[in-house]
A = this chain, B = another copy of it.
Amino acid sequence: MTSKRSSSHISQRYDDELAAVKSQLFEMGGIVEKQVNDAIKALLEVDSELAERVVIDDERINDMEVAIDEDCGLILARRQPAARDLRLVLTIIKTTTDLERIGDEARKMAKQAITLAEEGKAPRGYVEIRHIGENVANMLSQALDCFVRQDVELALKVAQDDKTVDLEYASAIREMMTYMMEDPRSISRVMSIMWSLRALERIGDHARNIAEHVIYLVKGDDVRHVGLKQMAKTVHDQ
C-alpha cells in the first residue's frame, strides 16, 4: 500500500514537472508575442521609448530559454520519459530555441525603430510593415495556440500562411528597392524598413517551425522540409 502510494506520488510529481515546464514555455511564448507586437508598434508609431523597452526586455527571454532548457535536461535525466512524454520534452527544447530567435528578431526591429526615430520617418514602407506585421503576429499567436491545444489543423494553417508571408515579403522588398532608386536620399531610412521586413519574415519562419514541432509532437512524424502537401497528408492521416 505504502509503495503504491509512494509510486503514484512520484508519478504525480513527474506530471507536475512536465506541466510546470510546459506552462513556463507558454509564459515565454506570451512574452515573445508581446515583444513582437511592441516592436511593430514602435516602428509604426515612431515610439523610441517603447522600442528601448523591447531591447531591454529581450534579456528576460534569454533567461527563460536557459531556465526551460535546464528544466528539460533535469526531467530527461531524472524521469527518463518515453514515447509522447519524450517527444514533448524534445519539442519544448526546440520551441524555446525558436522563441528565443523570435525575440532576437523583435529586438532587431526595435533597434531599427530607434534608428528611424533619430533619422526621421522613412518615406515609405509602413503599409507593408503593418500588413506583413499583422500576418506574422497572427501566425505566431496561432503557432502558440496550436501548441496549447495540440491542434495540428491549426499548425498546418500556420505553415501555409508562411508561404503567403514569404510572397508578400518578396514583393515588399522589390517595392522598397524601386523606391530607393527613385529617391536615393531616402536609402538609409528605407534600409531600416527593409531590415525590419526581413526580421518579420524570419519571425514567420520560426512560427512555422513551432507549428512543425507541434505536428511532430502529436503525430510522431518529423514534417520539417517535407513540403506543404506531405505535411497536410501527415496531419490528415489517422
Chain A residues at the B interface, C-beta cutoff of 8 Å: 59, 62-63, 65-66, 69-70, 73, 76-77, 80, 82-83, 86-87, 90, 93-94, 97, 177, 180-181, 184-185, 187-188, 191, 198, 222, 224-225
* B66 close to A76 (CB less than 8 A): no
* A222 close to B66 (CB less than 8 A): yes
Q: Determine how close the nearest CB of chain B comes to the CB of A115; give it in whole angstroms.
A: 12
* A86 close to B73 (CB less than 8 A): yes
Known: A86-B73, A93-B93, A94-B97. A224 touches B177 (CB 8 A): no
Contact of A66 among B90, B93, B188, B225 (CB under 8 A): B225
* A187 close to B181 (CB less than 8 A): yes
* A188 close to B177 (CB less than 8 A): yes
Known: A94-B97, A180-B184. A224 touches B62 (CB 8 A): yes
Complex: A59 Cα to B225 Cα, angstroms: 8
Complex: A62 Cα to B225 Cα, angstroms: 7
With a CB–CB cut-off of 8 A, which chain B residues contact A70? 222
Complex: A94 Cα to B222 Cα, angstroms: 16
